[in-house]
Amino acid sequence: MGVKIGEKAPNFVVSEWVQGAPTNFDQEKDHIVLLEVFQVNCPGCFMHAIPEAINIYNKYRDEGVRVLGLATAFEDFDKNTLDNLKMLAETGEVVGETKDVLSSQGQLQEGNKLSFKIPFPLAMDNLTKTSGETSQEKIMEFIYPQVPEFDTQPEGYKNQIIERVKSYMKSKEYSAETFERFALQGTPSMILVDRKGILRDVSFGQSSHAEGMIQKLLGED
C-alpha cells in the first residue's frame, strides 16, 4: 500500500549518514520536517531545490523546522554514489552533469566546488541491487501513484503502461528504497511532514510553494 497525504508518514530509509546526526520522521516529534530528495548528478537540484532548502533552513530552523537532505539514485548509478555524496559534503565538489551545467553558468568555484555549503544533515538512500523478474504487485505499486485513473483506462493503454514500467524496472541496476516507498517521480522531490508526524506534501520539481506550506504548518496548533 502506498503512502498517503494526511496519514502518518512512514520513515525514510538510509544506508549511511554523511553529515549531521542520524534522525528520522518518528524522532522529530514537535518539529516540521522538510526532506529534500536529490541526486548528486542532477543540475536542477543544485540550481533551485537545494538553495531553496538552505533558505528555509536559515529562516525557520529556530522556529521548529528541520531540513534534511537525502541523496538517492534512480539513474546514472556510476555518478549517484555514496562516495560522491561524501565528497560533496566534505569538499563541496560536484560531478557529472551537475559539474558541467553549473560550470557553464559560472556557478562553481575553483576545483568544481559549489559556491555554497549545505548546512543541514545529509544521508544516502538505501540502494539494493535488483535481480530477477519484477513482480506484478511491484509494477502496480509503481503505476497507481503516477496514473491515479489507471483502472478506468482502455485495456490497450493499460498494457502499454505495464510493459513500459516493466522495461524501466528491468533497466534499473539498483532499487532505491525511500524513492520507491514514497513513489517519487524524479529529483528534486520534497517530502513535508507536520509536527504530529503526518505526511502533508510530496512534490516533484521546483518547490517554490514549500515556504508557504511551512508558514501554514507553523500557524497550526
Mean pLDDT of the region 23-33: 95
Kindly report, residue by residue over 44-63, the tens digit of the pLDDT.
Answer: 999 999 999 999 999 999 99
Q: What is the maximal distance between C-alpha atoms in the chain?
A: 55
- The pLDDT, as a whole number, for residue 132 is 61
| Nearest C-alpha neighbor of 12 from the set 120, 123, 149, 94 | 123
Kindly report, residue by residue over 166-190, the tens digit of the pLDDT.
Answer: 877 766 778 899 999 998 989 999 9
| pLDDT mean across residues, the chain | 91
Mean pLDDT of the region 116-144: 86
Mean pLDDT of the region 66-86: 96
In the predicted structure, residue 1 carries a pLDDT above the cut 60 = no
In the predicted structure, residue 6 carries a pLDDT above the cut 80 = yes
Angstrom CA distances, 43 to 48, 139, 172, 202, stand at 9, 29, 21, 20
For residue 40, which amino acid is it?
V
User: Binning pLDDT at 50, 70 and 90, where does residue 199 land?
Assistant: very high
Domain ranges in the chain are 14-128+176-218, 131-171
- pTM score, whole prediction: 0.82
CATH entry, 14-128+176-218, from 1.10.10.10, 1.10.10.60, 3.40.30.10, 3.40.190.150? 3.40.30.10
Mean pLDDT of the region 122-138: 83
Integer Cα distance of 55 and 29 in angstroms = 22
Peptide bond into 148 cis (omega under 30): no
